[in-house]
Structure 1
Amino acid sequence: MRIEFTKMHGLGNDFVVLDARERPLPPMDAAFAAALAERHTGIGCDQLIVLEPSELADFRMRIFNADGSEVEACGNATRAVGLLHGRPARIETRGGLLRSGPTEAGISVEMGKPRFAWDAIPLAYAMDTHALPVAWEELVNPVAVNVGNPHVIFFVEDPYAIDMARLGPMIETDPLFPERINVNVAAVAGRDSIVLRVWERGAGLTRACGTGACATAIGAMRRGLVDRRVTVALPGGPLQIEWAEDDGIVMTGPATEAFRGSFDPADFGIII
């Protein structure tokens, strides 16, 4: 049995997409996902995406980070599968029900409403998520927000001056965050512009993170640093983020199909 896949990316944040909506796949576990994601011996990706039937939406999207951990949401992947689907869709995720659809500017995704309560992030104990009274060296007093998955955002003078390869994993795995955390460092460039770098939970430093862009924009809006529609510039390119009047987050940006192929599960030690 060979399994077909589609390799896609959103601003360089890349995915292997497996479509199990009509043809069931072998059970996916952390070891299998990590093997496919490995860039030297697997297909290679930041996240593995599995599409499945859903009773709640047009289809269900499961998301596995490169380390094999299954996570709640991924904005760039939602745009990618929206492109693959080719028409407006309701998508079930562990982080909630999302909506995607094509626009002139790419694929637009309704990401739901942000959550700010400490136990919705979640944090290990109660504190003000508007400015957490914590610090890791020069990174201090972050905003915390859950946009389907958990994020902390540090506003700094120059995101590219921060040693994210060292500080990112330190913060991601801090006991303050019982489900680990995505780490964002951002600079406000104007009322409608933010520069952002992201250390992604379970994936590391990434060229783009859709939920990170959403969380950072909401954090800046919550602090009154920017207006309710901004451009977030990531290393891979820009995303447009709007915090709508109904409190829902709308993310718009490109998605690209790179190539298609197939593999034999036995190559990864999976016997069917």
Structure 2
Amino acid sequence: MPVKFTKMHGAGNDFVMIDTISQRIKLRPRDIRRIADRRRGVGCDQVLLVEPPEQPAADFRYRIFNADGSEAGQCGNGARCFARFVRHRRLTHLNKMVVETGSSLMTLSLMDNHAVEVNMGPPVFTPAEIPFLRDQPAPEYDLTAAGEQLRVGALSMGNPHAVLRVSDVNDGSLERLGEAMRSHEDFPEGANAGFLEIVDRQNVRLRVFERGVGETEACGSGACAAVVYGQRMDWLDDRVTVELTGGKLTVQWQGDGKSVLMTGPTAISFEGTIRL
């Protein structure tokens, strides 16, 4: 089965975009793993599908598959690439669109220089909705991981996140901690593990280990989660530049009940066809 695709990235977080509207295909988990394989396939952090919407309020349905074949509920960097992709493929003329994901409706706005702003919706702090095995919501929680006693922020941006403040994101021990946090038993569905280094109240550095993927050069929902956590702890202002390995994102949040806005770049790497 030949499948047409477009390879894209948002600040180094790379995706294979597949339009299932103009080509009628059904991908199995093993197909996703084959596409994502960096030696035998195209190679990517996640495979993103464009589908017709199921909800009347949406323009498209946006499905997200991790490199291991599992489906995710949210991906902020992927959402930016999604918006540029549907315009690039002339599936829409809109500069502002609503897409449905596995967890919510999102508004995507195309801006100048191929940047896209994503309305990620309000963060979720209720432990049962993250999900996270704690009784009451709190700005921070105790967590034991890799034999260490940690204080982490836990929240959902449409997917679960655990965020730890560190003095240096280049610390060699973070890979071990990241693996332990993203598969921690207190997160029944796993978590994206973020390590937050605060430069000042408007600038941070971030390193993220995504569930189902591993370490990525950027994570949009992870950037949002880290900034929200930092604001709740009164470490950060309401507009923050997040520096990741692959580039910079801007995150804005006005506080409880408000949506998180995330803005960043998109790029098309190449297009092709893979036979599955």
TM bracket (short chain): over 0.9
CA deviation after TM superposition for structure 1 residue 205, in Å: 0.7
Structure 2's unaligned 5+ residue stretches are 88-94
8 Å CA contact 2:67–2:212 kept in 1: the answer is yes
Q: TM-score if structure 1 supplies the norm length?
A: 0.93
Is 1:220 the equivalent of 2:227?
no
1:130 to 129, 139, 143: 139
After TM superposition, list the pairs within 5 Å mapping 1:228-247 onto structure 2: 228-244=238-254, 247=258
Tell me what 1:270 maps to.
Answer: none
Alpha-carbon offset, residue 244 of structure 1: 3.8
- 1:21–1:59: 8 Å Cα contact kept in structure 2? no
Look up the SS of the partner of 2:141 in the other structure. Answer: coil
User: Where in structure 2 are the equivalents of 1:153-192 lying within 5 Å?
Assistant: 153-192=163-202
The answer on 1:256 being equivalent to 2:267 is yes
**Alignment partner, residue 118 of structure 1:** 127
Please name the residue that 2:14 is paired with.
Answer: 14
User: Aligned letter for 2:10?
Assistant: G
Aligned pairs (5 A) from 1:88-127: 88-104=96-112, 106-127=115-136
Q: CA RMSD in A?
A: 1.5
Which stretch shows the higher mean deviation, 1-10 or 109-118?
A: 1-10
Q: Deviations over 1:51-94 (max 9, x none)?
A: 10003211111101111110000000000011112322111101
Residues 143-162 of structure 1, C-alpha deviations (whole Å, 9 max, x = no match): 01101100011011112114
- Scaled by the length of structure 2, the TM-score of the pair is 0.91
What amino acid does structure 2 have at the position aligned with 1:46? Answer: D
How many residue pairs match? The answer is 264
CA positional deviation for 1:115: 0.4
**Secondary structure at 1:116 match in 2:** coil
Distance in 2, matches of 1:82 and 1:234, equals: 21
Q: Partners of 2:167 and 2:148 in 1: how far apart?
A: 11
Secondary structure of 1:49's counterpart equals strand
Q: Is the 8 A contact 1:244 1:250 kept in 2?
A: no
Contact kept? 1:217, 1:241, Cα under 8 Å: yes
Structure 1 residue runs of 4+, over 2 Å off?
135-139, 162-165
Q: For residues 206 and 118 of structure 1, what CA distance do their matches in structure 2 show? A: 25
Worse overlay, 160-169 or 145-154? 160-169
* Deviations, residues 160-197 of structure 1 (Å, cap 9, x unaligned): 11423322221211210100010001111111111100
Residue 141 of structure 1 is matched in structure 2 by 151
The corresponding residue for 2:47 is 48
